[in-house]
Structure 1
Amino acid sequence: MPKTRRNYLAQLPDADHFRSLEWIESANASVLAIGKDYAAGLRIPPHSHSRTQLWWARCGVVLVHTPRGRWMIPPGHALLIPAGTDHSAEMVSDVRMHSIYISAAASRAARPLVVEITALVGSLIDALVCARDEASSEQREQLIMDLLLAEIPRLSERPLGLPFPQNQRLASLCRQFLKAPSATATIDQWADRMRISRRSFTRLFRRETGISFVTWRQQACIFGSLPRLADGESITTVALDAGYENVAAFTTMFRRMLGAPPSLYLRDQSG
């Protein structure tokens, strides 16, 4: 029996999506590989898997929601979703997704995290998704799977996860901010809008998100810029709209978070 399964599905209604989930849960293979194409704007309803999922945005940008956070998957990156994690997704642009499903025991991930896909891991995933001749490739596929499982823990995490508070008033401010991110937003402004002291606000924010307001604001600004850059908007327009004084300041923060300036980052990931 082949060790992997492949399933090519185009943009599908919910019924087909849940049939795919049933297949994932019932399959006996140790590693499952799936390729799907999604149209911009398509939403995947909340669900979970008994396996850990590595969801690679082969092309396009995906936004994944969980009860406590949102994760952006830009081109060249993947979201590692631990087994049993409830999540839903929204396609920010047209997306080609390649996913790998592995046993929970094979992954040490305790929380969702965005990782950068290396050329090696990308090639291994492509090989599993695109393999056709099951009868003659079983041994090769097993070798690919073994190497893939060894490489996944070595992938570099990228700070594209955005923790979201449960406090409703604070969550409302966070949602509003994501619609129009601004690098100049201050603690005092948010504290005033919540009608609490600066000290109370900083304590509340860290308790609800696990990070400081400044760190969250920086991540949210980059988080919000990715879909616009992916849509082809100029770096200058995106940077100025986000409240940065100049492109250089925006580029510095982008490089700090993603390891490359926006121009090179987007060009590299589209190749």
Structure 2
Amino acid sequence: MDAATFTPHFDIPEQYAPDAVHPVRVRSRPMGVATVFGFHQHPWAQVAYTSEGVMRIEVDDTTWIVPPSRAIWIPAYVVHNAQVIEPAYLRTLYVDVSVIPPNLSECRVIEVSPLLRELIVALDVDDDTLSASREQSIVQLILDEIVRSESLPLGVPLPADKRLRALCEAIIANPKAGDSLEQLALDVGASVRTISRLFRNELGSSFSEWRQQAVLAHAIPLLSQGQSLSQVASELGYTSQSAFTAMFRRAFGKSPREFFKETA
């Protein structure tokens, strides 16, 4: 989706729009399940942070899952869609382009450190209650923490080729189906060789690597809702809880229990 076809979307109350005087603003509100914002863009960057609940963020070529106590960085003018897939308490930081740090030109899901969490809360007050110097210090620390935050592999890239796109969307819709690559390729009218080549050329990964990302995108909301590891493993087509946990640990460097313990 081409950002040039969109008009900047000023859908927020004026007091939340960042500027040179207040370069980072915070807006907090509960969001009900199935809330959909629709594709839009802003002339500022933003950080969508869910202290509770799960969100899905989409751009043209990737979909991201944002679990509790994680956040997604969205650069200015990136056309995106947001959907609440589990009731969430959303804090959105709007960041003026004048203070955006370098190397933040792409969307990414990040860890929210305890310090970053408290800094967001500290800035989430009426401007009149903060001195200019204190606000400046908090803003600088927030930006430093965003730059330092670990990026999480929670994006599922989507291709442009229509055949591969149809195959990928079928897996996202039903990751448990367990169809072989041969059957999936047949369903979209392509050979296995062609599909394998498209995965490498368009998505930079193998079919199995991409499928693992799609499985993780489904696993995160289920685990955040409190479903047991055995339930989630079974729902996503794994033969055992240990096999699912091993896959999760390879992706995140920690077990599901360790990952979600950090949200407590």
Normalising by structure 1, what TM-score?
0.85
Residues 109-258 of structure 1 mapped to structure 2, 5 A cutoff: 109-129=104-124, 131-132=125-126, 134-182=128-176, 184-258=178-252
Report if the CA contact (8 A) 2:248-2:255 is conserved. yes
Structure 2: how far apart are the matches of 1:183 and 1:222?
Answer: 15
CA distance, structure 1, for counterparts of residue 13 and residue 64 of structure 2: 21
CA distance in 1, matches of 2:180, 2:50: 33
- Contact conserved, 2:70 with 2:109, CA < 8 A, in 1? yes
Q: CA RMSD in A?
A: 2.2
C-alpha contact (below 8 Å) 1:25/1:50 kept by paired residues = no
Given that residues 110 and 152 in structure 2 are in contact (C-alpha distance below 8 angstroms), is that contact kept between their aligned partners in structure 1? yes
- Shift of the alpha carbon at 1:258? 2.7
Q: Secondary structure at the match of 1:43?
A: coil
- Of stretches 26-35 and 108-117 in structure 1, the one that deviates more from structure 2 is 26-35
For 1:131-185, what per-residue CA distance to the aligned partner results, in whole angstroms no more than 9, with x for missing partners? 3472454322211111111221111011001111222332222222122213955
- More deviation in 219-228 or 104-113? 104-113
In the alignment, the residues of structure 2 paired with residue 42 and residue 136 of structure 1 have an alpha-carbon distance, to the nearest angstrom, of: 32
Distance in 2, Cα, partners of 1:38 & 1:151: 25
Secondary structure of the corresponding residue to residue 153 of structure 1: helix
Q: CA 1:132/1:262 → structure 2, altered by over 3 Å: closer, same or farther?
A: same
Residues 19 and 96 in structure 2, CA contact (< 8 A), matched pair in contact too: no
The answer as to whether partners of 1:45 and 1:89 remain within 8 angstroms in 2 is yes
For 1:77-96, what per-residue CA distance to the aligned partner results, in whole angstroms no more than 9, with x for missing partners? 11111111000111011111
- Aligned pairs (5 A) from 1:69-84: 69-84=62-77
Partner of 2:51: 58
Give the AA of the match of 1:170.
L
Give yes or no for contact 2:62–2:157 (8 Å, CA) kept in 1: yes
Identity level (%): 32
Structure 2 length-normalised TM: 0.87
1:84-115: per-residue Cα shift (whole Å, max 9, x none)? 10001110111111122223352322221111
Q: CA deviation at 1:205?
A: 2.1
SS of the aligned residue for 2:175 comes to coil
Measure the CA separation in 1 of the matches of 2:130 and 2:105.
Answer: 36
Q: Following the alignment from structure 1 to structure 2, what is the Cα–Cα distance between the partners of residues 181 and 37?
A: 30
After superposition, the Cα gap between the structure-2 partners of 1:136 and 1:200, relative to the gap in structure 1 and judged at 3 Å, is closer
Counterpart Cα distance in 2 of 1:126 and 1:247: 37
* SS at structure 2 position matched to 1:93: strand
Matched residue of 2:12: which SS? helix
One-letter amino acid matched to 1:224: H
Offset, 1:24: 5.0
Task: Please state how far the C-alpha of 1:212 moved relative to its aligned partner.
Answer: 2.2
How many angstroms apart in 1 are the aligned matches of 2:177 and 2:76?
A: 35
Q: Secondary structure at the match of 1:59?
A: strand
Question: CA separation of 1:19/1:208 partners in 2, compared to 1, >3 Å: closer, same or farther?
Answer: same
* CA–CA separation in structure 1 for the residues paired with 2:182 and 2:13: 46
Equivalent position of 2:4 in the other structure? none
Q: What is the CA-CA distance between 1:122 and the residue it aligns to?
A: 1.2
